[in-house]
Chains A and B, each alone.
Chain A
């Protein structure tokens, strides 16, 4: 029996694909973030805890997902931050995120971008699922 939320890496010749499932959109986005950090091999340092608030808009669920992950990639590269506490509220094309995390101690992989390639957030009996292709 599959857990109600989770993620796993799928094969893709050039890039990385991540399958994510969760009961609702907010949890799906948070789970996708955790999966993305894992693909990047992010290890957080013991440095001071940092908090950020994000407010994002997207025309649909897919756009919100790409927007959110792209914002986390930007924060990882420009401020060197990765978050492990993700409190998200997603509704009607809007996302409010309260994030708490720490400076990145080490990271093994670089993700260039989150793509829209064949991106679709699908409804399932258990909630939602999607597959995200990253350019690496």
Chain B
């Protein structure tokens, strides 16, 4: 366990674990958190996991820890690490099993006050339109040829099939596609699991929420994103489903041998890795990109279903309802990016697990309407609490490898949440607060209770104070749909 006394204070919201803390650390760890959040983080093993990540061969700069961090497996959730190219390591466990788990935000032209009485119907329509729950398949059944197209084209595949617009694809991280995907590197089991799951939400912490824009903090940025106080939005959180889980499972297995072949010593087997430019590393990257593109397509199809549900539930109660995409970001991903290290720009492989990209104004990957304001950063809160729309800052590349928090972050174990919180009572409490709930499993609902998470407002205040993002708007939930 890392002792908080070993941390060096950089500012009120930045703390450093120096390499002197453990002999095998190659780089320091930088933690973005208020003192109160830091003390909460210090009570579990996430900082030790960040120190483990700092031992990976080829890691450069610093390992970064976001204020929503919590312990994961191998690499902490809320951790970011860059490795040098071409020889530095790529680690499947440092990206996670749910490859390109991420968040998509759609904003509407519908004023909450005009449809307040219809929110229950809207929740039911979303629940019916978006297949959710354990092992639930969708309406699409894809053969290998079509699945390969999904893996190569990502969001664009869905658009061509009629599930989205050019604007949706342009307003998706990286245009909704990672280059370099090679379907031949995806095993049979992953293909089997992926065939029926495009356009499905899954279970666990994945959800669709209807939210109201509660307060705008940056008028220019909110205008560019089409966010206006009092209007409804839809937030979709999910990833690459069984397809991505199996891709990661397969490569964590095959990398067990790679570690021996490349003489890599690891503090935890879940951190198994191989050099980026090794055959093993290249194969994993090609398969990981397939899963990332699968997830972009998945969220695009779900967005299409959400639009259908909006129209169905609200038609006749308001003017023709319309949902436009604000942005879609990944929070479990490995990407080739360029960042400055001690003033020198280098191409690196950035592992983000439970952390999002957050590029500042001028970043060329952004659609033209966002270039002046910076990349939208979507931070869903825990169920029933606020979610945030932020934007990347000028200094984010240097300060945090252009990375930001991805949510509130758990503080309570699932088993304790299940023991201490009753799903039915929680649902009643949320309904009494005006939040409509459609959930497939009451124990599942209890595990995701707000009490099991940190305060998302405190997390957002910490990243804003640390200068890695700025506030654009706060969203307030009025309906939650879960598997």
**A residues at B contact (CB < 8 Å):** 9-16, 40-41, 59, 62-63, 66-67, 70, 74, 76-78, 80, 104, 107-110, 112-119, 133, 135-136
Contact = CB atoms under 8 A, between A and B. Distances in A.
A16 B416 CA distance: 11
Contact of A113 (B249, B413, B415, B441): B249
B444 A108 contact: yes
A70 B246 CA distance: 9
Interface string B170-211: 000000000000000000010011000000001110000000
A116 B271 CA distance: 9
Contacts of B46: 13
B423 to A, nearest CB: 10
A19 to B, nearest CB: 12
Nearest to A15: B73
Contact of A110 (B73, B202, B252, B411): B202
Contacts of B268: 116-118
Nearest to B245: A112
B402 to A, nearest CB: 24
B203 A110 contact: yes
Contacts of B483: 110
A108 B410 contact: no
Nearest to B414: A16
Given A13-B411, A59-B257, A109-B441, A116 B189 contact: no
B161 to A, nearest CB: 24
B360 interface: no
Closest 4 A-B residue pairs measured CB to CB? A117-B73, A11-B413, A116-B269, A115-B73
A13 B70 CA distance: 7
Contact of B410 (A14, A67, A104, A112): A14
A38 B298 CA distance: 29
Contact of B135 (A15, A77, A136): A77
A117 B270 contact: yes
B394 to A, nearest CB: 32
B97 A112 contact: yes
Nearest to A9: B415
B73 A41 contact: no
Contacts of B413: 11-13
Interface in B215-265: 242, 245-246, 248-249, 252-253, 256-257
A7 to B, nearest CB: 13
B93 interface: yes
B270 A41 contact: no
Contact of A108 (B72, B415, B441): B441
B256 A59 contact: yes
Contacts of A119: 269-270
Contacts of B245: 112-113, 135
A13 B444 contact: no
Interface string B262-303: 000000111010000000000000000000000000000000
A39 to B, nearest CB: 9
Contacts of B44: 13
24 contacts: A11-B415, A12-B414, A12-B415, A13-B410, A16-B415, A41-B443, A63-B256, A74-B192, A78-B189, A104-B135, A107-B134, A108-B443, A108-B444, A109-B204, A109-B443, A110-B203, A112-B245, A113-B248, A115-B252, A116-B74, A116-B93, A116-B256, A135-B97, A136-B204
B375 interface: no
B269 A135 contact: no
Contacts of A9: 415
B98 interface: yes
Nearest to B75: A117
A66 B253 contact: yes
Nearest to B135: A77
Contacts of A59: 256-257
Given A11-B415, A70-B249, A115-B93, A109 B193 contact: no
Given A11-B415, A13-B46, A110-B204, 7 more contacts: A62-B269, A77-B242, A78-B192, A110-B134, A115-B93, A116-B252, A135-B97
B449 interface: no
B135 A117 contact: no
Contacts of B96: 135
A76 B135 contact: yes
Contacts of B441: 41, 108-109
Contacts of B246: 74
Contacts of B203: 109-110
B356 interface: no
Interface string B44-60: 10100000000000000
B416 A11 contact: yes
Contact of A15 (B189, B256, B411, B414): B414
A67 B70 CA distance: 27
B71 A74 contact: no
A119 B73 CA distance: 10
Contacts of B70: 13-14
Contacts of A80: 135
B270 A14 contact: no
A21 to B, nearest CB: 18
Contacts of A116: 73-74, 93, 252, 256, 268-270, 272
A67 B204 contact: no
Residue of A63, A76, A112 with most chain B CB atoms under a 10 A cut-off: A112
B412 A135 contact: no
Nearest to A59: B256
B253 A77 contact: no
A77 B73 contact: no
Nearest to B101: A112
Nearest to B191: A78
